[in-house]
Amino acid sequence: MTVGVGPAGSPTIDRPYRGNTSGEVIAGKLMLLIVSLLICIGIVIVYSSGAGWAENKYSSSEYFLWRQLFFSVIGIFTIVFLARIDYHIFYKVSKLFLFVSIFLLSLLLVLKVVGVISGAARWIGYGPLKFQVSDVAKYALIFHFSRLISEKQAYIKDLHNTYLPLVVILITVVFLVALEPNFSTASLIALIGFIMMFIGGVNIRYLLATAGLIIPVGAVYAMIAPYRMARLVSFFSGDEKGMSYQVLQALIGLGNGGLFGLGIGASKQRELYLPLSYNDFVFVVIGEEYGFIGALFVLFLFSAFLGCGLVIAKHAPDNFGKYVATGITIAIVLFAFVNIAVATHLLPTTGVALPFISYGGTALVFNSLGVGILISISRSRKQRRESESGTEKPEGGLS
């Protein structure tokens, strides 16, 4: 094992090679295949589930289809582009990225206070060029946490020099997202931050103490909003009459699907019965049209994604790469789990999209950014090996 100097002078540890080291490269290629399948499923399902809504709202049944196809192409190009660049660039810009995301979150709240934005302040931009700022903040947090945790490994369990700076950054981002209001995304970002700190080796007592303070505050915040309280009451209601309309329609749709489903485009719930059938409840349409087998296949793809991401993280050439790969993998899989759990009535109703499948350009592009970085990390060790041996291949393809 050799110790070298990483980006911006940070110490890195090169792990020794033992035998075949192509596992991470295979994981990267397999991840690209998995994500491509998920994106293709998303295009088909968004068209199927959103045709009726698009016809009713935009007078064109193909409105959602063409937009989803457009952002899918951008997503694929994003993956290919980022897979070919050095992921350490995000180490260098992590602090700037974080400051920009905090500024944008603060700007949203200011615009809401002065009346420029009414309702939830989650999007920024103009016309079709809008993006959800919480997506920016989520990845900014992952990059900067990865940088700080890797830099502070020598004193990772220190309260003042390590834990407090990390938790202050996390609480700042979570607080701003929660005020949009976007309680579900704020909760998931908090969970991602805590998982990354735990994996990074932060003192578990500090994590438990902070969780003991944050969870009651979060519970009170969740209950003070009438609509969130209604969702909680609906979730814990054991009576079908107490269930919300969304949940009831979702369960009907999943029941309609049976084992093999009703067939492509044959969903009954999509026809204006199930709200947001092309977004938050897109998994219900998958279960209804493709049955238990189709739903299980989607679960398998996300499970395989998790496995590939963890392999890439394990074999990353430095700590920064390891924590970035871990954070991105956890973020994408966690959002997928929550979406599916809500659709199957395992969690209270909340607005979380299914990565790569739900309709929406912002989330798809940012998740594609994450996948491109994961593949870049998976290729970096092989590229360095070829460079050191003088057999580096010419540019071209995702070798």
Q: How confident is the model at residue 311 (pLDDT cuts 50, 70, 90)?
A: very high
Inform me whether the pLDDT recorded for 376 exceeds 90. Answer: yes
Please state, as a whole number, how many other Cβ atoms lie within 10 Å of the Cβ of residue 393. 10
- pLDDT average, residue stretch 324-347: 95
Please state, as a whole number, how many other Cβ atoms lie within 10 Å of the Cβ of residue 350. 20
Residue showing tokens 């502070």: 152
- pLDDT average, residue stretch 132-147: 96
N residues, the chain: 399
pLDDT at 59: 78
- pLDDT average, residue stretch 219-243: 79
Q: Which is it for the CA torsion 276, 280, 281, 282, positive or negative? A: positive
Q: How far apart are CA 311 and CA 23, in angstroms?
A: 8
For residues 135 and 75, the answer to whether their CB atoms sit within 8 Å is: no
Question: CA nearest 47: which of 356, 359, 274?
Answer: 359
Inform me whether the pLDDT recorded for 133 exceeds 80. Answer: yes
DSSP 8-state class, residue 47: H
Share of the chain above pLDDT 70, in %: 87
Inform me whether the pLDDT recorded for 222 exceeds 60. Answer: yes
For residues 24 and 330, the answer to whether their CB atoms sit within 8 Å is: no
- What pTM was computed for the model? 0.89
Provide the b/e sequence for 187-207 (b: ≥16 CB within 10 Å). bbbbbbbbbbbeebebbeebb
Q: How confident is the model at residue 127 (pLDDT cuts 50, 70, 90)?
A: low
